Amino acid sequence: MQDGTLLAAVDLGSNSFRLEIARYEHGQLQRIEYLKETVRQGGGLDAERNLSADALQRGWDCLARFAERLRDFAPAQVRAVATQTLREARNRDVFIERGSAILGHRIEVVSGPEEARLIYQGVSHLLPQSDERRLVLDIGGRSTELILGQQYQAQEVASFRVGSVSWSAQFFADGQFTERAFARAETAAQAQLDEALAVYQRQRWDCAYGASGTVGAVGEILAASGHAPGRITRQHLDGLYQQLLRAGHASRVQLPGLKEERRAVIGGGLSVLRALFALLQIDTLHVAQGALRQGALYDLIERDSPATDQRRATVSALQQRFGVDTAQAERVAQAASTLFAQATGQEQPGHAQELTWAAQLHEVGCRIAHSGYHRHGAYILDNTDAAGFAQHELQRLALLVRAHRGKLRKLELPWSAPLALQLACLRLAVALCHARRPPELAGLHLRQDPGHITLRLPTDWATRYPQSAHLLREESQDWQRTPWALEVIAQSA
């Protein structure tokens, strides 16, 4: 990545939407601009887990304002990440489709573990280098992330459906602060978080850090009240708890440093934080500077080089975990990539990379059973925690793996031109590599026209490779009941 490159991260949280713009200089990021709007989208989920019309519109309006600032940014310079509220929302596709169009950049819904990994990246890059074992926690609007890590490497990640917005709505809906309400909220939070004890035991970390959200708000209140900045202790939390009880109601809380948009969710956030202190035996929590959006920015830097792209490491880990024949996977990947480059002139690097990953993982389901392994592979990709990948990326890989063999007419596919070409290249590559040795690609040429894909074979190729030629003819026939035609033409002498 060149010095001076501008990068942007958009964090679509349950309580607030944030935009951070930074300049890359000598391996570091320098903040240029930071915008934050309280959208409280998490409060717009109804009993059926649909976002209300007002919640949708609040989000779109905010994204329109962010879009003005991002107008000149290329796609590779922006990462827009949506978290728990949009993970839960049944009508999230409605928001994502229009929101991405408004923003001018693709909005990614990330899994809870991926959100946790990005949070750790943001926190660790803004801490001094150290070998200390770190516990990082982040209490958001509708989820809480826990991470154990050392230096820049997250070693354990988890996400729990506990947050300041959801807990405030559930236990402090009327705004009343009572001992009974706090007791119920903290007990419920501990019940949700209880499984963390098996992994996040006190002896496994040296220092605890809290990122953004509730931790940041509590840190600001304590600093404004005259306490040492950057530290939260049990005594501090007990003091805040007593102050909320004395106020009795959210509308009567008078705390220095408490922002107005935090007033309605401070009760829920504090109850979750107190539960974590008790459960994980935290005495002192250090307020970290980095968080999800900084992690997304550093992830953009890593994605700029294949050697540091987390997704590459994840694909390799999945291959190892499920016993993939990596030699065959690479043969298929190289053949598919060669055909794709012929058809596109290397003008679609994003789709080319998706195709490579799908080829490298196309046999990931064989560990379960060879029969129907393409279906097993798709299930694995749809349900795995894959560091670095957004949910839509995994869904695309799952679709390609599911459709790389078998009858196309049985599948309901979104037959866009990029998908049709990816699928043709993958299926042709699998056929060409059927003997599990390097295929003969010299003289083969693939071309894509509207609604039509053509593979031309050189003279005598079909005579020299009769089984491959037979498989290619069968593949051509299999496309006859799809919106796309695949034609295989053998050139005559």
- What average pLDDT does this structure show over 209-227? 93
Kindly state the tokens that stand for 201.
């035991």
Amino acid at 462: A
Length of the chain: 493
* Cα(444)–Cα(455) distance, integer angstroms: 7
Q: Which of 210, 226, 313 is nearest to 269 (CA)?
A: 210
* Cα(490)–Cα(493) distance, integer angstroms: 10
Q: Please tell me the predicted confidence (pLDDT) of residue 492.
A: 64
The answer, yes or no, to whether residue 378 has pLDDT greater than 60, is yes
- What average pLDDT does this structure show over 15-22? 93
pLDDT, one tens digit per residue, over 30-59 is 999 999 998 888 888 898 999 999 999 999
- What average pLDDT does this structure show over 138-159? 94
Q: Please tell me the predicted confidence (pLDDT) of residue 309.
A: 85
Q: Please tell me the predicted confidence (pLDDT) of residue 279.
A: 95
pTM (2 d.p.): 0.82
Q: Please, what is the average pLDDT of the chain? A: 93
- Weakest-pLDDT range from 176-185, 352-361, 483-492: 483-492
Domains of the chain: 6-110+295-300 (3.30.420.40), 127-288 (3.30.420.150), 309-437 (1.10.3210.10)
pLDDT, one tens digit per residue, over 334-351 is 999 999 999 998 767 889
Q: Which of 63, 57, 89 is nearest to 10 (CA)?
A: 63
Q: Please tell me the predicted confidence (pLDDT) of residue 307.
A: 76
319 touches 360 (CB < 8 A)? yes
Q: Please tell me the predicted confidence (pLDDT) of residue 42.
A: 84
* Cα(361)–Cα(394) distance, integer angstroms: 11
- Weakest-pLDDT range from 16-25, 102-111, 172-181, 303-312: 303-312
Q: Indicate the pLDDT class of residue 20, thresholds 50, 70 and 90.
A: very high
Q: What's the order of all strands across the beta sheet hosting 284-287?
A: 153-160, 144-150, 133-139, 207-210, 284-287, 231-233
The answer, yes or no, to whether residue 11 has pLDDT greater than 60, is yes
The answer, yes or no, to whether residue 493 has pLDDT greater than 60, is no
Q: Please tell me the predicted confidence (pLDDT) of residue 385.
A: 81
Q: Please tell me the predicted confidence (pLDDT) of residue 411.
A: 85
- What average pLDDT does this structure show over 61-77? 95
The answer, yes or no, to whether residue 107 has pLDDT greater than 60, is yes
Q: Please tell me the predicted confidence (pLDDT) of residue 475.
A: 93
pLDDT, one tens digit per residue, over 70-88 is 999 999 999 999 999 999 9
* Cα(321)–Cα(443) distance, integer angstroms: 37
The answer, yes or no, to whether residue 128 has pLDDT greater than 80, is yes
> In Å, how far from its chain's centre is CA 226?
38
Q: Which of 25, 28, 18 is nearest to 3 (CA)?
A: 25
70 touches 59 (CB < 8 A)? no
SS3 of the chain: CCCCCEEEEEEECCCEEEEEEEEEECCEEEEEEEEEEECCHHHHECCCCCECHHHHHHHHHHHHHHHHHCCCCCHHHEEEEECHHHHHCCCHHHHHHHHHHHHCCCEEECCHHHHHHHHHHHHHHCCCCCCCEEEEEEECCCCEEEEEEECCEEEEEEEECCCHHHHHHHHCCCCECCHHHHHHHHHHHHHHHHHHHHCCCHHHCCEEEECCHHHHHHHHHHHHCCCCCCEEEHHHHHHHHHHHHHHCEHHHCCCCCCCHHHHHHHHHHHHHHHHHHHHHCCCEEEECCCCHHHHHHHHHHHHCCCCCCHHHHHHHHHHHHCCCCHHHHHHHHHHHHHHHHHHHCCCCHHHHHHHHHHHHCCCHHHHCCCCCHHHHHHHHHHHCCCCCCCHHHHHHHHHHHHCCCCCHHHCCCCCCHHHHHHHHHHHHHHHHCCCCCCCCCCCCEEEEECCEEEEEECCCHHHHCHHHHHHHHHHHHHCCCCCCEEEEEECCC
How many percent of the chain have pLDDT more than 90? 80
